[in-house]
Amino acid sequence: MKLMLLAIILGVAATAPQQQPPVAILLDERVPPENGAYSFQFQAENGIVQSEFGTPGSQGQTNVQGVFSFLMDDGRVAEVKYLADENGFQVQSPLLPVAPEFPHPIPQFVLDQIAFAEEQSRLEAQLQS
């Protein structure tokens, strides 16, 4: 019985969440917002780095430009650049998937669905006239 109780306690201890040691912050510089402009830089000992700055936009918004990076499991550095302005949010990174070049071949089942939808629209227009 004691052996069974010890095995249960060890099993529970092994499955308990493990505490991660705190990550040291190597750099944390901030310029507080003033009239839509701000900036900050951040770097942690685990390889996470981020910098961002904002400037007043032409339509009352704050335009934001920044970059962040982190270490991937294989040791390479992943970097993501971003911009948010009147044209929306735009991201640049080799990590993001890339759409195939256009024009690309359209699968037959898609062409069949388009033809079916066009035929349905034509039939519906005939019924309404």
Contact 46, 26 (CB under 8 A): no
Tell how strand 37-44 and strand 77-85 pair up.
Answer: unpaired
Kindly tell me the burial class for residue 100, based on how many C-beta atoms sit within 10 Å of its own C-beta (0-12, 13-18, 19 or more). Answer: exposed
DSSP code of residue 126: H
Instruction: Say if residue 13's pLDDT is above 70.
Output: no
Q: How many CB atoms neighbour CB 30 within 10 A?
A: 10
pLDDT at 120: 95
pTM: 0.61
Mean pLDDT of 43-71: 93
